[in-house]
A and B are shown apart, each in its own frame.
Chain A
Amino acid sequence: MPGKIILEMRHICKKFPGVVALDDVDFQLYEGEVHVLLGENGAGKSTLIKIISGAYSKSSGAMILEGIPADIQSPGHALELGIGTIYQELNLVSQLTVAENIFLGREPVNKLGIIDSRQVIRNARNVLAALKVEIDPQARVVDLGIAQQQIVEILKAISMQMKILILDEPTSALTRQEIEKLFDTIRQLKEKGVGIIYISHRIEEIFEIGDRVTVLRDGRVVRTSSIDAVDSSDLIRLMVARELKEHFPKRKAMIGAEALRVEHLTRTDVLDDINFALQKGEILGITGLMGSGRTELARAIFGVDGIDSGNIYVNGKKWVIDSPRKAIEAGLGYMTEDRKLQGLILKLSVSKNISLPSLDRVSNLGIIMTDSEQQLAKRYIQELQIKTTGPDQLVQSLSGGNQQKVVIAKWLACQSDIFIFDEPTRGIDVAAKVEIYQLMNQLVARGASIIMISSELPEVIGMSDRILVMCHGRINGEFDPSNILQEELLKCGLGI
């Protein structure tokens, strides 16, 4: 191992009401290493790093920073000590520009104490250039896509010149090229002796960038090892404590009558004459680059954004879907890509989130029947194996992957028959991914149909019956997944 230990955690415990999130965890980070944290959803990864970064206080245990016992009081304190963190959830100020966000709280000032905004922009340009990122430093963060926002978040942490950098699922929203750039940067930081803690559910990635790996299960360390000493099936076994069978389980669904047809759907500058049909029992994969109009298409079909022209037919009947309410009435369910902003009411409980679109099913004359509601929630907690202390736990205290499952549960409970899944497995562990795939198979076997929007090409190829590739708001190609290479899809998505 290169260098010396910069951070050591000893016997760390963290208890929340009803859960032990971390149980006697030991963890060491060396200078210049990328130390990967691996584990199922809810294993305690985020909790561990939140203790290191001062967002949570530990229940017991000791933390030693460069040989000195440290008691980190707050995120600000951690930054002072040289620990920078990029959280699973984005934390940017959406109304400020990219440059202002990167230097928030560290703005260069002139002699009068006034912010030198030109200097801010210059500094931001340097940071952007160092990473070869093409984002306008003067663009406001609201106007960026999630991937770009993620990159801004990463740049912000990198520009602080930290001794320890923590990345919690930084790549879940990034494209391959963006991930490449991120890895280059990480390698540069390693050279400088920065210690990096890296969380990801993408196992392939871990072998590409990691030096050592620590696997957590139910809040305990199962193993810490050098990356070279393990392979991916070892890691999965350690994580889930059982064998995983097929990665993309096969299904036998009957492709039936037409469920949804979209004709000439157009929204100026966003969607350009979209035509496709979806059969009962079919999974239609839609892929393409970030910003190619995939999410916009989903939003248009679901009645979130208005359309300029075009027709939508559900089960052969024409529907004017001008609001999500109408879409739900027509039997559609839409799982958004951004769960925190669009999918969940964080301050409400798991059961209240699950029942939200289907309250009518569990209420009578407007009065909610609490027992039925609880049963509904329990059923889907069970079915999706949502790791929670019960239906009354607040969604904000669930782990990221389990929040995602709650969003899925919401639409299952609604008994929709046409599902639009936008990046359904983002941030979900390998075992849970397979569960979600199996669930999708069950849904189509029951005669439902699914539109699956995804950037993960293996997933698109493995799960779809047919693949549409979008580019610049148009459908640029249709493919049969049984004989297609990832490269072809990529090329089509790039429009070449």
Chain B
Amino acid sequence: MLLKDKMALNYKRQLGTLLGLIALIGIFWISTPYFLTVSNLLNITRQTSINAIIAIGMTFVIISGGIDLSVGSILAFAGVVTAGSLSAGVPIFFAIIIGMLLGFFCGAVNGLLIAWGHLPPFISTLGMMSIARGGALLFTGGRPISGFSQSFRVFAEGRFLSVPMPVFIMILLYILGHFILTRTKLGRYTYAMGGNEEAAVLSGIHVKLYKLFIYGISGMLSGLAAIILTARLNSAQPIAGIMYELDAIAATVIGGTSLMGGEGTLLGTLIGALIMGVLRNGLNIMGVSSFIQQTIIGAVIITAVLIDMMLKKRK
């Protein structure tokens, strides 16, 4: 009986965000019939996939009680290094591994500084945001690296079971991420340390190690997103990914994850990312100027979180 109540409560909140998403889609559909065509919907999910993938790592980090501002810069760094490796003739498989490992490494350095150096996550990842960006610029001398083989571009252009490759990867990662978060020790400890770090330590959890891991995963997912972006643009830019951290944070909090840590779901984050994607796409199709778009997106973030907080309030 109670399990049902609790699930009802949990899903009611997600239902709210889901209804928001549906309402948005409805509004855009009425305004421009083109919006609800298959090709545009695929377009939206494809555009959303990069932010959605980064937001998986962000959700882990935020649930654990932290924040990661460096994801956009890590994306750029990993992107140019992968691209550079490809240009230097490194086989695709290894180039991808290099990019993702670099992402993991940058993230793990964040985790190291936070867990063992006791730096606030905001500071540590702010520093890394600058370091990784600098790394990307240094690596390329500031110029983009372009032109890749068709077999690399499959990561953006290809399809699997007629689903665009990036969307396929995204869905796979969400299923995996959801499983990890809800059913594994790593996931449980993520909630535990975000909910009460001291109690987690006293329960014998190696909080430091898990932090290193969580930030590492966040960096690695940025590296993966970099590969998709590079393949899509057929070019790796050292200035790619600027402000991506804010989009990922927005998707996470719209999805109901508390910035205080200790609670949140990946299902919510996915809906949050889709809301962001639908908004951008719909406003574009309607020809709304990008200045106004910014304002509207900001207002949506605030409204979503306000509603969420009101739902949580007084018993």
Chains A and B form a bound pair: yes
- Per the bound structure, the CA–CA distance linking A392 and B315 in Å amounts to 18
Partner of A57, one of B186, B196, B315: B315
CB-defined interface of B200-241 with A at 8 Å, one 1/0 digit per residue? 111111100000000000000000000000000000000000
User: Within 8 Å CB of A324, what residues of B?
Assistant: 201-204
Q: Which of B2-10, B113-121, B266-274 contacts A (4 or more CB under 8 A)?
A: B2-10
A residues in contact with B196, CB < 8 Å = 341-342, 344-346
| CB of B296 within 8 Å of the partner chain | no
B163 at the A interface (CB under 8 A): no
Contact at A18–B1, with CB atoms within 8 Å?
yes
Q: Mark B172-205, 1 if CB is under 8 A from A, else 0.
A: 0000000000011110100110011011111111
> B132 to chain A: closest CB distance in Å?
29
A146 to nearest B CB, angstroms? 15
A449 close to B (CB within 8 Å): no
User: A342 to B199, alpha carbons, bound, how many Å?
Assistant: 4
Binds B, one of A3-11, A148-156, A365-373, A474-482: A365-373
A334 within 8 A of B: yes
Fill in one digit per residue for A338-370: 1 if any B CB lies within 8 Å of its CB, else 0.
000111111111001000110110010011101
Give the complex CA separation of A111 and B14 in angstroms.
50
Can you report 26 residue pairs joining A to B where beta carbons are below 8 Å apart? Answer: A56-B315, A57-B315, A74-B314, A324-B202, A325-B205, A327-B204, A341-B196, A341-B198, A342-B199, A342-B202, A344-B196, A344-B199, A345-B192, A345-B195, A347-B191, A352-B188, A356-B205, A357-B203, A357-B204, A357-B205, A359-B185, A363-B184, A366-B184, A367-B185, A389-B2, A392-B6
Residues from chain B with a CB closer than 8 A to the CB of A325 are 204-206
- From A57, A304, A348, A357, contact of B314 by CB (8 A): A57
The answer to whether the Cβ of A301 comes within 8 Å of any Cβ in the partner chain is no
Q: Which of these, A343, A344, A345, A366, contacts B185 with CB under 8 Å?
A: A366
Of B188, B202, B204, B263, which is within 8 A of A343 by CB?
B202
Hey, which chain B residues are within 8 Å of A360, CB to CB? Answer: 185
**Is B107 at the interface (CB under 8 A from chain A)?**
no
| Cβ–Cβ contact A328 & B204, under 8 A | yes
Whole-angstrom distance between the alpha carbons of A392 and B4 in the complex?
10
B262: Cβ under 8 A from any A Cβ = yes
Chain A neighbourhood of B5, CB < 8 A: 17-18
Q: Mark B6-44, 1 if CB is under 8 A from A, else 0.
A: 100100000000000000000000000000000000000
Are A348 and B192 touching (Cβ within 8 A)? yes
Q: Are A345 and B262 in contact (CB under 8 A)?
A: yes
Interface string of A60-81 (1 = CB under 8 A from B): 0000000000000010000000
Structural contact, A347 and B195, CB atoms closer than 8 A: yes
Question: How far is the CB of A214 from the nearest CB of chain B, in Å?
Answer: 23
Q: Give, as a whole number of angstroms, the nearest-CB distance from B244 to chain A.
A: 29
Is A304 touching B202 in the complex (CB atoms < 8 A)?
yes
Is A410 positioned at the interface, with any CB of B under 8 Å from its CB? Answer: yes
